[in-house]
Amino acid sequence: MMRRFGSRLFDQAFVRSGPIRWLVVGGTLLIAAIAVGATLMAQNFRERALRNSGRELENTVLMLAHHFDQQLQDFAVIQRDFVDHVRATGIRDAEDYRRRLSGQDVHRMLRSKIEALPYMGGVNVIDADGNLVNSSTAWPAPKVNVADRAYFRTFKYDPHSPDVLIEPLHSRISGAWTILIVRKIPGPNAEFLGVVGRGIEPANFEKFFASVVLGEGATISMLHRDGTLLARYPLSSELMGRNFKTGPFSQQRVFGLDHFAGRFVSPVDGEDRLISSRALPHFPILIMATMTRAAALTDWREQIRILISVAASSALAIAGVLIAIVRKLLEQHRLSRERLMLEMQRLDRAVNNMTQGLLLFDSERRLVICNQRYIDMYGLSAATVKPGCSFHDIIAHRKATGSFTGDVDDYVARVLSGVHVRNAMVVDTSDGRSIQIVNEPLADGGWVATHEDITERRRIEARITHLAHYDALTDLPNRTMFHEHLRQELAAITEGEQIAVHYIDIDEFKGVNDALGHLVGDELLKSIAQSLRRCAGPADFVARLGGDEFAIVQSAVTSPDQVNDLVARVFQAIRTPFDCMGHHLTADASIGIALAPEHGEVLDQILKNADMAMYAAKAAGRRTYRFFEPDMDAKVRERRQLEIDLRHAIAHGGLEVYYQPCLGLKDDRITGCEALVRWRHPERGMVSPAEFIPIAEDTGLINEIGEWVLATACRDAANWPDDIRLAVNVSPVQFKSGTLALKIMAALAASNLPASRLELEITEAVLIRDDEAALAILHQLRAIGVRIALDDFGTGYSSLSYLHRFPFDKIKIDRCFVEDIAGPDGSASIVQAVVNLAGARRMTTTAEGVETEEQQRLLRALGCSEMQGYLFSAAKPADKMLELFALHRSRLARREGSESRRREAG
């Protein structure tokens, strides 16, 4: 059926179209070419498979011939050595030969020679009568006579016999087939004295043959040049000793050649075989390997199956493609008419479902096509707006229905005057819509007009434009619009007036985000933005620059009082409590003010100066404002230079570590030392830590400084007395790195300082920023034995929850409480409260900044554990610490001795 169907398709193709006829002929020729090519390739593969198999046989016999030739030569050396031994010992006749070679010493000599060559088998010595007189395999030698053996008779009775004979026979010693290799031993006058020989069992050769993989049906044989089979794999006992030189000439000529490769029918199994033989170079032995032709062509048959499958698949694929193409071509004519009708339907459907109104006019200004969208867009009547009506009629109908406002004749004249070129216009309808009209001229003089409602697009574009210039959170102008406005104001400054640029940075805003979350923080920013908008004047421009930074451009400034009044209104507005999602929050700000043109006439300069003034307000303690001053620029440059010098000092070892001892108030003993970093500048001298530590924290250099101080201090403290601890300050910035615990463990390991002697001093700022992460790190450090002290307690939030959530080892009382501890309204009660709190939590207390004996006495009376300050000692370099420890211990010893003597005298 398939053939009849295909034939019918081909007949139709030949009848209807010449190109189809050539297509079919070409496909047929291609299928024929595939068949011929596959046949030639199969023949080529077959010859190649036979050549490869023949080459494999040749390589095999070459390797075996070299191998066994070397083995037989090894034994030939032993035989020659034995003959030389006979000559050297001066044996004169057969009786002397029998007597002198039958001893145990000769047996041991033979055995020692053969032990080095385990594959050789036994060595036997036979006298002129054929009796075995000695053997390497047994002692004494068994009674064996070989006088009837053919090789013995040849040696004894044929004076022209060769020196060496090789013969397969049944051994009278082992009883198995043996390949005997014997050498004649002549006397002093060339008379026959005996033979020395050895037997090699064919199994030794066959075992080696079996290790050579040639495939199923392959054989490897060892034959004498006279045609006698010596060994064979696979083993065939009935073939051993059989002579194969008696066959046809093609079989006989193998034994006359040193190397032979070809094919013949095997006399053993009658199989057509590939054969390769090679003679041993030094012995009359052939190595022969054969393989059946069927085995040699095994891979070829697999290739042929694949080749036939590929060729058949290709032919079927070509035939299928031809059938599909012919069917397709035959159907095209029928489908072309249907396609035309379908395309007309689709065009009509597409035109009437467009989002745009479509009108097509001819060169006579009359309507050809109008889609439904145009009718619906303007609420027109399809009975009026139909093919054949004029453009003027359509506009007049729109006027009558209320979708067009204006003069009909003027509008029609204006449109018709420009339809010869592409043009676009946007018109607004009476119901508030925006319609974009595009007129596209046609080659025949007509045109296509599209009407698109772009009302929503304009609204979206306006929204995008707004978002590009206004802050999404506060709806204030953003940084981009701020720059544009300021640039315009700078260009429009009149004489006698100035512009004030206020940079406003909300103080401690990050604390609100961290404590209450970003949602509350966003509500606070929106409230601040509304307050700034209200307090600014009608001509002032308020913008959000990003984050917690705002700016106000105050125009037409004629006196400083105007600026001060605005600043006062700003502070009053943002300091008023805000209700943010149930939280009553107050804010404050640092404000920097720059005046133009007094402080700059270009945008970048005035912005830079306002920014510097704002940072000056922050440096002054925040919650205030500063006008730009020229020396602020110098301070910024100085700070930058100080940062550069600090980086150089870190890189080139310009920092030092000083140590300030901590004194116990109960026994006046030194309990520990605090490591303090010092910077000896080559030009400035000693730079105060209050100057460079903030720079290091702002730039992140504090991580390098802190790591270096920790490693250096641990190394120095390892040489101190074991009862003196080391205290090291840790910056909040170091906690943010996340690797603080690993660095501390590395420093302790490198210095061999016990963890129990290290005390880390942290401030509450560490816990405020990310208390959960910080507490986790502190617990890791406590787990390895490091002590933790809370520094500057009482100067920050002083949240008691931290003391409850983490068991600090020590609380350090800030120097501000120690300074006025002796006053009538001093801080003694505060210190007492801290001491009591620490005692309840089993913590020690250390008072900082103790400079008078009165302060020391009061602290001791209040129960403070330790003191630290200039009263006892200022910070000292590392090389002075051991001297200080020794001097202090000496003073204590003298004082204790004096007190002891006073007690004894009393």
For residue 488, count other CB atoms closer than 10 A to its CB. Answer: 11
> CA 837 from chain center: how many Å?
53
Sheet holding 123-127, edge to edge: 132-135, 123-127, 192-200, 177-186, 164-170
Contact present, 83 and 185 (Cβ < 8 Å): yes
Residue with tokens 């060729």: 311
What residues have CB less than 8 Å from 346, skipping those under 6 apart? none
**What type of residue is 594?**
A
What residues have CB less than 8 Å from 132, skipping those under 6 apart? 124, 125, 126, 141, 142, 143, 144, 145, 146, 173
Report pLDDT digits (tens) over 75-95.
777 778 878 788 878 887 878
Give CA–CA dist 479/477, Å, rounded: 7
Give the closest residue to 758 by CA, choosing from 802, 809, 708.
809
- Decide the pairing of beta strands 219-224 and 285-292: antiparallel
Q: What's phi and psi for 823, nearest 5 deg?
A: -70, 160
> CA 360 from chain center: how many Å?
61
Q: Annotate 528-568 with three-state secondary structure.
A: HHHHHHHHCCCCCEEEEEECCEEEEEEEEECCHHHHHHHHH
Residue 432 backbone zone (phi > 0: left; psi -120 to 50: alpha; other: beta)? left
Contact present, 430 and 402 (Cβ < 8 Å): yes
Residue with tokens 């900082």: 848
- Decide the pairing of beta strands 589-596 and 625-627: parallel
Contact present, 276 and 264 (Cβ < 8 Å): no
Contact present, 806 and 760 (Cβ < 8 Å): no
**What type of residue is 167?**
E
Structure tokens, 39: 């046949």
Q: Annotate 757-820 with three-state secondary structure.
A: HEEEEECHHHHHHCHHHHHHHHHHHHHCCCEEEEEEECCCCCCHHHHHHCCCCEEEECHHHHHC
Give the closest residue to 165 by CA, choosing from 199, 132, 215.
199
Mean pLDDT of the chain: 82
Give CA–CA dist 902/789, Å, rounded: 39
What residues have CB less than 8 Å from 475, skipping those under 6 apart? 529
Structure tokens, 223: 């034959």
Residues comprising the chain, all counted: 906
Give CA–CA dist 782/891, Å, rounded: 35
Contact present, 591 and 625 (Cβ < 8 Å): yes
- Decide the pairing of beta strands 123-127 and 192-200: antiparallel
- Decide the pairing of beta strands 810-813 and 844-848: parallel
Q: Measured between alpha carbons, how far is residue 139 from residues 102, 106, 203, 330, 517 in Å?
A: 10, 10, 25, 102, 105
Q: Measured between alpha carbons, how far is residue 468 from residues 324, 472, 477, 479, 480 in Å?
A: 59, 9, 9, 10, 8
Contact present, 94 and 127 (Cβ < 8 Å): yes
Residue 268 burial (10 A CB sphere; 0-12, 13-18, 19+): middle
Residue with tokens 């040049």: 225
Report pLDDT digits (tens) over 688-730.
888 888 888 878 888 899 999 999 999 999 999 999 999 999 9
- Decide the pairing of beta strands 357-361 and 229-233: unpaired
Give CA–CA dist 735/677, Å, rounded: 18
For residue 292, the cross-strand partners are 273
* Predicted local distance difference test score (pLDDT) of residue 570: 92
Q: What is the pTM of this model?
A: 0.44
**What type of residue is 135?**
S
For residue 764, count other CB atoms closer than 10 A to its CB. Answer: 20
For residue 574, count other CB atoms closer than 10 A to its CB. Answer: 22
Report pLDDT digits (tens) over 468-492.
889 889 999 999 999 999 999 888 8
Q: What's phi and psi for 173, nearest 5 deg?
A: -95, -50
Q: What's phi and psi for 728, nearest 5 deg?
A: -130, 130
Coil, strand or helix at 877: strand
Q: Computed from CA positions of residues 864, 865, 868, 873, in that sequence, does the dihedral angle turn out positive or negative?
A: positive
For residue 806, count other CB atoms closer than 10 A to its CB. Answer: 17
Q: What's phi and psi for 555, nearest 5 deg?
A: -95, 165
Q: Measured between alpha carbons, how far is residue 898 from residues 885, 891, 894, 905 in Å?
A: 20, 11, 6, 10
Structure tokens, 705: 């400084």
| CA max distance for the chain | 156
Contact present, 358 and 447 (Cβ < 8 Å): no
**What type of residue is 89?**
T
* Predicted local distance difference test score (pLDDT) of residue 887: 92
Coil, strand or helix at 684: coil
Give CA–CA dist 426/436, Å, rounded: 4
Q: Annotate 633-649 with three-state secondary structure.
A: HHHHHHHHHHHHHHHHH
* Predicted local distance difference test score (pLDDT) of residue 173: 60
What residues have CB less than 8 Å from 61, skipping those under 6 apart? 220, 276, 277, 278, 287, 288, 289
Q: Measured between alpha carbons, how far is residue 732 from residues 443, 643, 763, 845 in Å?
A: 77, 19, 8, 22
In this prediction, the residues of the chain whose per-residue pLDDT falls under 50 are: 1-15, 797-798
- The pairs formed by 850-856 with CB atoms below 8 angstroms and a separation of 24 or more are 850/818, 852/822, 854/822, 855/818, 855/821, 855/822, 856/665
For residue 185, count other CB atoms closer than 10 A to its CB. Answer: 25
Q: What's phi and psi for 606, nearest 5 deg?
A: -65, -35
> CA 725 from chain center: how many Å?
45
Give the closest residue to 773 by CA, choosing from 762, 784, 759.
762
* Predicted local distance difference test score (pLDDT) of residue 120: 57
